[in-house]
Amino acid sequence: MQLWVGLGNPGPSYARQRHNIGFMAIDAIARRHGFGNWRRRFHGLLAEGALAGARILALKPQTYMNASGESVQQAAAFYRIPPEQIVVFHDELDLAPGKVRIKRGGSAAGHNGLRSIDRALGTADYWRVRLGIGHPREKDRVLGHVLGDFTAEDQEWLGPVLEALADAAPLLASREHERAMSRIALAAKGPARTEDKQQPESG
């Protein structure tokens, strides 16, 4: 069994914000692969499905981003899911828009949702699907960028990336991460850019 967690903030006023791309990703996967209805569990919304022969529990914490770990810890403890079977989908400032990277462990890098999960689980040794939203280049614009809605220009890459991620979900479930990233990269063409790595952010 695997626990797949999409990070975001609950409520319609946050629904189209860049910070909610984790929710969007897990929704796209659940729709594509016919997951069951969302139900309220563990201070979140939980749906169940199957990918590549693996049972997948999809979770969207409804605690707000800064307390996401409470929901994740409760679900993981109830189902006895170890950190290496947890996958977290989240926005990533330090990747260009439309870029997707998959890694295990690492620092929270200023992401409050990841920081909360690290504290709640007592470890950072879980998988992350890093969904690039780009960096505004100026530190004082970071908060407004993250909490801003995706623009019309963003829609050129956002929809294709989410669809490509849903297509590649079975590969992710079977831990074929390089193949998953290659498939996403081929299917989703982001805006023109000169580099994947952008300026770091602190909050």
In three-state secondary structure terms, 25 is helix
Distances (CA, A) of 191 to 119, 133, 160: 35, 11, 12
The residue from 19, 90, 111, 135 that is catalytic is 19
**CA–CA separation, 82 and 203 (whole Å):** 28
Four-residue CA torsion sign, 164, 169, 174, 178: positive
Copy the structure tokens of residue 92: 């990533």
Verify whether residue 43 is a known catalytic residue.
Answer: no
**CA–CA separation, 28 and 126 (whole Å):** 21
Our CA angle for 71, 175, 112, nearest 5°, is 35
- Residues known to be catalytic: 19
